[in-house]
Amino acid sequence: MAELNFGYLPGDSFFHRLDARVKLIGLILISIATLHARMAPLLLLLGMALLPLFSIGLSPVKILRELRYFFVLLFFVFAARSLSTPGEALFSFMGISPTLEGTLMGLLVSCRLLLIALAGMLLMATTRTWEIKAAVSRLLAPVPFIPHARIGVMIGLTLRFIPMILHQVRQTQDAQRARGIEARGFFYRLTRLMIPLMRRTLKDADSMAIAMEARCYAEERTDPQLNAEKRDWAALAGAVSICGFVILL
């Protein structure tokens, strides 16, 4: 099996050692801050998000490869914004007139989404699925009437399946490329991909559920130890300060 995308990368970096709860809160804070951020601080945050990704061994090429489908989504967001926002037309071609205001707004929204994706990637690459499950469960525990253990399990399992689904996408695409599907149109390829992908994903999910059951999987289990130390509190304070700074700028 080839190396999995969007999965945990074993390591011992500063971010690997941070408490999963701090990383999760940090991701939430960054997501909120980006909604209020302007372009300059947003670019600063983007740079700050890229550095730790490089430090854990993800090269720019690999990051671009991992996010290639996400960039398609960003392109559509950018195009929709630049074409639908009223303002001064940049140019006009066959009835299509992107505006200056729309282009700037499209860039801003795309950067915001990209930053959230990068922060999510950092969380996923440095945190084990079961640590995320434990963190969600612990953070939700004080909230009344919320089945925190079950929500933790659901999130943990969902995250666990993402690399598996992406692996299936690659395998199915390889099998189809081997039979010359590249000569066909985009929508044909998409429909031919989705049906076997769904079937194989469901089959794999079934096999994994059986394997987990065979090893006594239950909602109540010994979760990974989460210990917030000085380093974690300092990181949290840093995240709060940066986000506050970004919002105020």
Partner 1 sequence: MKILEIENLSHRFGGGTFGNQEIDLSVRRGEFVVIAGPNGSGKTTLLRHLNGLLMPHIGTVRIAGIPVADDLRRARQMVGMVFQDPDTQIIGETVYDDVAFGPENLKLNRKEIERRVADALSETGLSAFAARRPHLLSGGEKRRLAIAGMLAMKAEIAVFDEPFSNLDYPGVRQVLSAILALHRAGKTIILTTHDLEKVIAHADRLVLMAEGRIVADGPPEIVMAETERFGVRQPCTFRNGGRIESWLS
Contact residues for partner 1, defined by CB under 8 A: 1, 3-4, 7-10, 128-130, 160, 204, 207-208, 210-218, 220-223, 225
Residue type, 60: P
Q: Shortest Cβ distance from residue 190 to partner 1 (Å)?
A: 26
Q: At what angle do helices 100-126 and 68-84 cross, to 10 degrees?
A: 160
In terms of CB distance, is 150 or 184 closer to partner 1?
Answer: 150
Q: Shortest Cβ distance from residue 129 to partner 1 (Å)?
A: 6
Q: Shortest Cβ distance from residue 215 to partner 1 (Å)?
A: 4
In terms of CB distance, is 92 or 222 closer to partner 1?
Answer: 222
Give the count of alpha carbons within 13 A of 189, CB side only. 15
In terms of CB distance, is 8 or 78 closer to partner 1?
Answer: 8
Q: Shortest Cβ distance from residue 162 to partner 1 (Å)?
A: 12
Place of tokens 């049906």: 195
Q: How far apart, in Å, are the Cα atoms of 114 and each of 21, 53, 111, 209, 216?
A: 22, 14, 5, 33, 39
In terms of CB distance, is 171 or 176 closer to partner 1?
Answer: 171
Closest CA to 70 of 158, 149, 197, 166: 166
